[in-house]
Amino acid sequence: MTRVNLLVDMARGKKTGGYQTLLPHKLKYVSTDDIRRLWRAIKKLEIRGAPAIGIAGAFGIVIGIKRSKARTSDKFFKELQNSSKYLGSSRPTAVNLFWALKRMEKVARDNRLKPVARIKNILLKEALKIIGEDMKSCRRMARFGSKLVRHGSRILTHCNAGGLATADYGTALGVLFESKRQGKSIKVYADETRPLLQGARLTTWELMREGIDTTLICDNMAASLMAKGKIDMIFVGADRIASNGDAANKIGTYSLAVLAKYHKIPFYVVAPLSTFDFNIKTGLEIPIEERSGNEVRGVLGKLIAPKNVKVYNPSFDVTPNRLITAIITEKGIFKRPYSNLTSNLTRLK
Ligand code: MRU
């Protein structure tokens, strides 16, 4: 099993290509054992969402060294490091990718005295282990988070933090699926999430498949809903959380958090430990991906703005810790202030 099955719905050959453009209307699985194809899948958001990118990175290492003919461990390690560096150059913000790559490198190093064929096998097992752990984390986060949801809660979410972004049923969306499973009747508003519309295309699709009452809104409608008292709580995922609790997530998350503070609405971030970057102190150190201006000039590949208009297209923003009511992890719920977040989380690891 050294091919990677990707839940991607490519618009192959079309100019629009990438970022799951066929969903929600068409579902297609693509299988590959080509590391360059996998890199492209991450870059173009065919595989997207922080935990899913991490898992893709781990399997990227497996397929990267699959055909290695190296006989010496020195040569093998050079090849492995090249694969890791290459995969790490795909997208900079979600720390799960770098977490998985480092973990794979460490496992290989810890087993360096073993024959190369054996190390390859150990790496495959580690990648499968990462999937298994992410599945368990999703379920645990969902159970913890669902304690915050009441019967009749009206919930807002942004981007897609569901099954398409993880190995199981998601982070923020996992909380909603679990609440539904417990019999709570909830109403969910999904931001469409410009520019690539993960909310409109993916989140609504996932929620509706589970029979959850789902309403799609444009990003600029959230404030008015809050002002009308129609939102009780907000759940979002994260791509990288700094030691002080500052959290990077899809662009537009920060503005929701500011609005939530003004309207006194609890704002929750749901993320596994693999999304925490304990090497950085604050969100200021989080690298923010900037993507092609064409994503903003158009909608899913169709040009809507003057083709040479200047564009600013950061893919993520950072929500300061003071705007986050609580962070829900597989280890439990951590509430503001986050002064002991690192020690609490590392102690629980
Ligand atoms: O650019 P994307 O679609 O990869 O961004 C994804 C997000 O921002 C998600 O909210 C985040 O990764 C959490 S996924 C469980």
Q: What is the 3-state secondary structure (H, E, C) of 83-110?
A: HHHHHHCCCCCCHHHHHHHHHHHHHHHH
Domain that holds residue 189: 141-348
Catalytic residues: 239
The finding on whether 48 has its CB within 6 A of some atom of ligand 1 is: yes
Among 337, 321, 310, smallest CA distance to 282 is for: 321
Q: Which residues contact 61 (CB under 8 A, 6 or more apart)?
A: 80, 83, 84, 87, 101, 104, 105, 123, 127
Angle at CA of residue 261, ends 255 and 262, nearest 5°: 90
Phi-psi region of 126 (alpha: psi -120 to 50; beta: other; left: phi over 0): alpha
The finding on whether 171 has its CB within 6 A of some atom of ligand 1 is: yes
Region 329-333 average pLDDT: 97
| Residue 41 and residue 97 in contact, taking contact as beta carbons nearer than 8 Å | no
| Residue after which a domain boundary falls, among 85, 106, 138 | 138
Region 193-203 average pLDDT: 97
21: confidence class by pLDDT, cuts 50, 70, 90: low
Q: Are residues 134 and 149 in the same domain?
A: no
Q: In the prediction, which pLDDT does 20 show? A: 61
The finding on whether 207 has its CB within 6 A of some atom of ligand 1 is: no
Q: Are residues 97 and 215 in the same domain?
A: no
Task: Give the number of C-alpha atoms closer than 13 A to the C-alpha of residue 194, restricted to the C-beta side.
Answer: 13
Query: DSSP states of 72-83 as a string?
Result: SHHHHHHHHHHH
- As for how many domains the chain has, the answer is 2
Q: Are residues 111 and 184 in the same domain?
A: no
In the predicted model, is pLDDT for residue 7 greater than 60? no
Residue given tokens 């969902």 in the structure block: 142
For the chain, give the percent of residues with pLDDT over 90: 85
In the predicted model, is pLDDT for residue 15 greater than 50? no
* The ligand 1 atom nearest the CA atom of 250: 8
- CATH code for the domain of 189: 3.40.50.10470
The finding on whether 159 has its CB within 6 A of some atom of ligand 1 is: yes
47 CA from centroid of ligand 1 (Å):
10
Task: Determine if the pTM surpasses 0.75.
Answer: yes
Mean of all residue pLDDT scores within the chain: 93
CB burial class (10 A; 0-12, 13-18, 19+) of residue 261?
A: middle
Higher pLDDT, 70 or 191: 191
| Residue 345 and residue 137 in contact, taking contact as beta carbons nearer than 8 Å | no
Span 26-37, pLDDT tens digits: 888 888 999 999
Q: Are residues 113 and 87 in the same domain?
A: yes
Region 179-183 average pLDDT: 98
Q: Are residues 114 and 211 in the same domain?
A: no
* Count of all residues that appear for the chain in the document: 349
- CATH code for the domain of 64: 1.20.120.420
4: confidence class by pLDDT, cuts 50, 70, 90: low
Region 141-166 average pLDDT: 98
DSSP secondary structure code for residue 282 in this structure = S
186 CA from centroid of ligand 1 (Å):
23
Residue nearest to atom 8 of ligand 1 (CA): 250
User: CA-to-CA distance for 296 and 94, rounded, in angstroms?
Assistant: 21
The finding on whether 134 has its CB within 6 A of some atom of ligand 1 is: no
- 3-17, 41-55, 90-104, 282-296: range with lowest mean pLDDT: 3-17
Q: In the prediction, which pLDDT does 345 show? A: 86
Helix (H) or strand (E) holding 6: strand 4-7
The finding on whether 269 has its CB within 6 A of some atom of ligand 1 is: no
46 CA from centroid of ligand 1 (Å):
12
| Residue after which a domain boundary falls, among 111, 138, 165 | 138
Beta-strand pair 240-242/276-277: parallel
In the predicted model, is pLDDT for residue 241 greater than 90? yes
12 CA from centroid of ligand 1 (Å):
22
3 CA from centroid of ligand 1 (Å):
24
Residue given tokens 């190093």 in the structure block: 109
* The ligand 1 atom nearest the CA atom of 170: 15
Residue 221 phi, psi dihedral angles, 5° rounding = -100, -10
